[in-house]
């Protein structure tokens, strides 16, 4: 081992500048050096980099967004306050007026009586229909059948609507068909068979109504309710044909009964106190019956018939006024029930007074 002095090892000793070492060999031997010389050698030219936005002290503008050329969005700012979910904005609530309540809805909301009378307009329509019956009664019974059929159609629809069942097309059509069947049978048979025809038609139609409800897949309570409504509607439509049966005995009796019903219905619709309105309606019906009976030759019998027919008409009006009825109920049941309720009484009195 010799004591020769060794030069200290300098790991960071002088080295060749970058790019001044040996030339590379292999596939990159002929590659041209980076333009401008090796890094750190040669003067820096200061030439701006192509596309440099900061060249020559230029202040860059706003950089383009993700979609160049797209329209700019709304300027930044506080978002408008939104109304809570489920609550309309004040502008919308103010711009949309609330629907007006019907008299029935207003009475129900205020807790008033569920009895609402049909009023004067349905009473005038009832009087017009009664006038048609009175005008056609002295003619042949097929002519009288025209207003009677109209009465039966309105009765069938009105009773279903009065019970809150709508549209109920099958039930209404079935009840109306029962009335038509009774009319045809009354015109085709002798006048003494009118009761038999009515009872037979009712029996067959009750069976039809029962079969119709067997096809109903609703709950038992709803089926029972529909069954009772169908039976009652069919019965009223058949009994309304009593004017045809009464005309076979006396057309004057039909005239007297129709006039009395019209008088009682119109007077009852006048704005009078309840007790006074009831008394005035019955008195007017008896007076109208007396006048019609006097024209036919028996004023006393006409007064009795007029009072009975007027009482039946008031009962029909009361039924049509029950349980917050709508305007449609008033224009159907309120029109037809006074005449339909009086038809059996007119038939019975035609056999005793005719």
pLDDT category of residue 112 using cuts at 50, 70 and 90: confident
Q: Within a domain: residue 183?
A: yes
Q: Please check the confidence at residue 182 and state whether its pLDDT lies above 50.
A: yes
Q: Within a domain: residue 315?
A: yes
Per DSSP (E only), the strands in 133-275 are: none
Number of folded domains that form the chain: 1
Which position has the higher pLDDT, 322 or 113?
A: 322
62/73 Cα distance (integer angstroms): 15
In the block, residue with structure tokens 């007026």: 97
Q: Within a domain: residue 21?
A: no
Q: Within a domain: residue 30?
A: no
Average pLDDT value for residue range 325-345? 93
Tokens of 222: 């709803």
Average pLDDT value for residue range 45-53? 49
Q: What is the pLDDT of residue 42?
A: 46
Q: What is the pLDDT of residue 2?
A: 45
Indicate the range of 235-239, 297-301, 308-312 predicted with least confidence: 297-301
Q: What is the pLDDT of residue 116?
A: 86
Share of the chain above pLDDT 90, in %: 51
200/234 Cα distance (integer angstroms): 12
Looking from the CA of 48 toward its CB, the CA atoms found within 13 Å total 9
Instruction: State pLDDT tens for residues 70-96.
Output: 455 555 555 555 544 544 544 444 555
Which position has the higher pLDDT, 27 or 201?
A: 201
Q: Please check the confidence at residue 31 and state whether its pLDDT lies above 60.
A: no
pLDDT category of residue 36 using cuts at 50, 70 and 90: very low
CA dihedral 293, 270, 237, 258 (to 10 degrees): 10
Looking from the CA of 196 toward its CB, the CA atoms found within 13 Å total 6
pLDDT category of residue 353 using cuts at 50, 70 and 90: confident
Tokens of 299: 């004023």
Share of the chain above pLDDT 70, in %: 69
Tokens of 23: 């030339």
Q: What is the pLDDT of residue 181?
A: 96
Average pLDDT value for residue range 105-133? 86
Instruction: Render the burial of 187-198: b for 16+ CB within 10 Å, e for the rest.
Output: beeeeeebeebb
Q: Which domain holds residue 312?
A: 115-353
Q: How many residues does the chain have?
A: 354
Q: Please check the confidence at residue 46 and state whether its pLDDT lies above 60.
A: no
Q: Please check the confidence at residue 5 and state whether its pLDDT lies above 50.
A: no
C-alpha distances (whole Å) from 307 to each of 55, 167, 252, 284, 287 are 113, 36, 16, 8, 8
Q: Please check the confidence at residue 161 and state whether its pLDDT lies above 50.
A: yes
Instruction: State pLDDT tens for residues 256-274.
Output: 999 999 999 999 999 999 8
Q: Within a domain: residue 263?
A: yes
pLDDT category of residue 144 using cuts at 50, 70 and 90: very high
In the block, residue with structure tokens 């229909």: 129
Angle at 24 between CA 20 and CA 28, to 5 degrees: 125
The three state secondary structure string of 253-307 is HHHHHHHHHHHHHHHHCCCCCHHHHHHHHHHHHHHHHHHHHHHHCCHHHHHHHHH
**Residues 53, 63 contacting (CB under 8 angstroms):** no
Q: Within a domain: residue 40?
A: no
pLDDT category of residue 290 using cuts at 50, 70 and 90: very high
Q: What is the pLDDT of residue 284?
A: 97
Q: Within a domain: residue 198?
A: yes
**Residues 182, 151 contacting (CB under 8 angstroms):** no
Tokens of 271: 């704005």
Q: Within a domain: residue 3?
A: no
């Amino acid at each position: 081992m010799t004591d020769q002095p060794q030069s200290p090892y300098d790991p960071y000793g002088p080295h060749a500048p970058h790019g001044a070492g040996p030339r590379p060999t292999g596939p990159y031997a002929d590659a041209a050096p980076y333009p401008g010389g090796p890094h750190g050698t040669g003067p820096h030219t200061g030439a701006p980099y192509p596309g440099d936005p900061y060249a020559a002290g230029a202040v860059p503008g706003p950089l383009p967004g993700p979609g160049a050329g797209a329209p700019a969005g709304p300027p930044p700012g506080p978002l408008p306050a939104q109304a809570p979910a489920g609550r309309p904005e004040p502008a919308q609530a103010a711009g949309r007026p609330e629907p007006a309540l019907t008299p029935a809805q207003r009475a129900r909301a205020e807790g008033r009586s569920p009895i609402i009378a049909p009023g004067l307009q349905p009473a005038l329509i009832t009087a017009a229909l009664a006038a048609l019956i009175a005008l056609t009664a002295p003619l042949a019974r097929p002519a009288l059948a025209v207003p009677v059929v109209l009465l039966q159609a309105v009765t069938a629809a009105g009773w279903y609507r009065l019970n809150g069942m709508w549209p109920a097309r099958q039930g209404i059509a079935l009840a109306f068909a029962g009335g038509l069947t009774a009319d045809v049978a009354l015109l085709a048979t002798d006048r003494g068979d009118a009761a038999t025809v009515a009872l037979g038609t009712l029996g067959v139609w009750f069976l039809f109504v029962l079969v119709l409800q067997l096809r109903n897949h609703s709950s038992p309570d709803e089926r029972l309710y529909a069954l009772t409504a169908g039976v009652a509607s069919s019965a009223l439509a058949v009994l309304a044909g009593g004017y045809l049966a009464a005309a076979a005995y006396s057309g004057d009796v039909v005239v007297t009964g129709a006039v009395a019903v019209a008088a009682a219905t119109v007077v009852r619709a006048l704005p009078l106190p309840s007790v006074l309105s009831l008394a005035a309606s019955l008195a007017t019906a008896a007076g109208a019956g007396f006048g019609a009976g006097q024209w036919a030759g028996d004023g006393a019998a006409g007064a009795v018939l007029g009072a009975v027919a007027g009482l039946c008409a008031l009962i029909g009006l009361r039924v049509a006024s029950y349980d917050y009825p709508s305007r449609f109920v008033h224009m159907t049941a309120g029109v037809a029930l006074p005449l339909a309720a009086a038809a059996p009484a007119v038939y019975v009195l035609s056999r005793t007074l005719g």
